[in-house]
Amino acid sequence: MRRYGHLYEKVCDMDNLRIAHHNARKGKTHYRDVKKVDANPDLYLGRVRHMLQTKKYVVGRYKKFIKRAECGKQRVIFKLDYFPHRIVHHAILQVIEPIWVRSYIADSYCCIKGRGIHRAMRKIQRIMRAEKPQYCLKLDVKKFYPSCENNITKQVVRRKIKDPDLLWLLDTIIDSCDGLPIGNYMSQHLANLFLTPFDWYCKQVLKIKHYYRYCDDIVILSDSKTELHAWLNQIRTYLHDHCHLELKGNWQIFPVNIRGIDFLGYRFFHNYTLLRKRTSMRILRRSRRIVRKQHASLADVRSIMSYYGWMLPANTHNLQAKVFNPAVRRAFAATAKKHNIKNPLRRRYEQV
């Protein structure tokens, strides 16, 4: 296994820091810290570089708040100031992310450029139609992010990185919190890296052909229920012994053709794919609210069209007819005219 050195000077390079600031500020130009750096980028990026070169960089105090996810779960979100932390995190990942990505299996899809939900969806659809697997094992890890022990994370990082200066910086970030703090830009990438040895164990040792992972959500397909039970026991043992992780007790082994695979926000069947029922109901509620008030705000337009991106790859003809009913199309046309923007439904519904 090749390990990489002489990376720290690339992280500290001024051009790399400028690109990091450019990428980190996207969608955050209204932040006070972003405006401050934008006013004099050479000054503030120079300070970041000096912190890194003199090893005076210290991770600041996290701001914590509770966020309720769409599924109803409450999660503690950790947030760091934009300057200098978000810039530093982007600068690091611009250098080492390509190294980490080369070590991932092909069917890991979380937080990897070019490997989003729709790519995973197309892969599963192709397998479902071509090979028609009969059974599915669906599982996920109990409290995954907080349960990733810092010492194990450091060991996994050292499998690919040997630069002592960069390891000092990564250790500083890892040790800033017990486990991986949700909301930290580095955490999603470290989480993916944390489970990469487990991915290779499933592929190379257990010889699982149809294994798909999105963060800690895992789907395994097979024609044998006995085989899935055997893999489940081996997976549970490996995660406990090597990663100090536990599976949630809600793991399931079920026939695919009866209930479909609930994964990535969709329900996969052999010959068709539907949206998850909870998502469909949320879209319909938004559509009915527009009809009820006979008006669509810009927020309504953006929300419905973002959901349209979810509907498009699935078999949702009937759902689209309900959501984009004539009343909604008229409201969208009026909103577009009022704000002098292009009507997002005009191309699809020429009668609007």
Asked whether the bond before 133 is cis by omega within 30 degrees of 0, the reply is no
- In order, the DSSP letters of 164-208 are HHHHHHHHHHHTTSSSPPTT-HHHHHHHHHHTHHHHHIIIIIS--
Distances (CA, A) of 221 to 108, 117, 137, 310: 15, 18, 6, 24
pLDDT tens sequence across 56-112: 999 988 999 888 766 667 888 999 999 999 999 999 999 999 999 999 999 999 888
Rounded Cα distance between 335 and 312, Å, is 23
pLDDT tens sequence across 135-184: 999 999 999 999 999 999 999 999 999 999 999 999 999 999 999 999 99
Taking the model in full, what pTM does it have? 0.91
pLDDT tens sequence across 252-281: 999 998 899 999 999 999 999 999 998 899
Rounded Cα distance between 1 and 41, Å, is 39
User: Edge-to-edge strands of the sheet including 210-214?
Assistant: 210-214, 217-222, 135-140, 252-255
Q: In angstroms, how far is the first alpha carbon of the chain from the final one? A: 59
Distances (CA, A) of 92 to 27, 95, 138, 164, 259: 20, 6, 34, 14, 43
Asked which of 98-102, 269-273, 312-316, 347-351 is least confident by mean pLDDT, the reply is 347-351
Residues in the chain: 352
Q: Which residue from 334, 240, 328 is spatially nearest to 286, judged by alpha carbons?
A: 328
Give residue 342's pLDDT band: very low, low, confident or very high (50, 70, 90). Answer: confident
Torsion angle of C-alpha atoms 23, 27, 33, 38, degrees rounded to 10? 60
